[in-house]
Amino acid sequence: MTLLLRQEHHHVEATLGLDLSYFQGDVPQSSWNCLKQNGREFAIIQAQTQSGHVNPYIVNDINRAKAAGIQYVDIYIFPNVNMDPAEQVRNTVNFVKQNGGSFGQIWIDVEGPQYWSSNCNNNVAFISKMVNAGHAAGYPTHIYTSNSQWSPITCGSTAFSHLQLWYAHYDGRASFDDFYAFEVGLDHQSSNIKELLTFVVLPLMKTFIKKEQLIRPETFKLSVMNTNKLWLFLE
């Protein structure tokens, strides 16, 4: 689940959402409807697995989420470092578009040091190529990671401090109070998304849709053609 936040004069307004992995399978429309009815307003869906294969359910999940009334839908890519970084992004984007799906932003999932090179410079270059490919395809492209993952993979690189940050801290608290500058070596003074890790069990599906998120409103500004609509949404 995910939260979209607006903070003003120390007052925080939040909106719920979720991220969905490939392992949750082909989520039925009834479950997306249930999520929407229970206050989920946006979704970030895994579009590529660590094997480098596109999630075959990605377009179904995108379209069902939107059909349920979830307006803001992003994708995330789990990279395969043995494959061309830019090509992975292009293949994923093309698959979604050619099969009738659309989304707002791309998030690059940087975790699992065992899957990456032992050379931090190579890893930073790889991530940069993925980010650039996302931008070249016309999508805002950002980073998902955590301090424990970013440090060994990139040696704490600050090369992506201009991007938005989705960070993981599994404390179950819908708050950014735990975030500190340089949390993941990205030289951020604040974060856009926090992953809380709780479980949502839907009555109409047997699998878990897991990982609660906490998200700041600016995360989605580039996903919306009319920012006034976003403002009204946040109000």
Give 229's contacts (C-beta < 8 A, 6+ positions apart): none
> What does the block give as tokens for 179?
């975030």
Residues facing residue 201 across a β-bridge: 208
pLDDT of residue 45: 95
- Number of residues in the chain: 235
Asked if residue 227 has pLDDT above 50, the reply is: no
pTM: 0.77
pLDDT digits (tens, 9 = 90+) for 40-72: 888 899 999 999 999 999 999 999 999 999 988
Query: Going from the N-terminus, what domains does the chain have, and what CATH number goes with each?
Result: 2-234 (3.20.20.80)
Tokens 């976003």, residue located: 230
Catalytic residue among 61, 74, 109, 212: 109
**For 123-139, what is the mean pLDDT?**
98
> What does the block give as tokens for 201?
């069990």
pLDDT digits (tens, 9 = 90+) for 142-155: 988 888 889 999 99
**For 19-31, what is the mean pLDDT?**
89
Catalytic residue among 41, 74, 111, 195: 111
Q: Report how far residue 213's alpha carbon sits from residue 160's, in angstroms, rounded to the nearest whole number.
A: 21
111 in active site = yes
19 in active site = yes
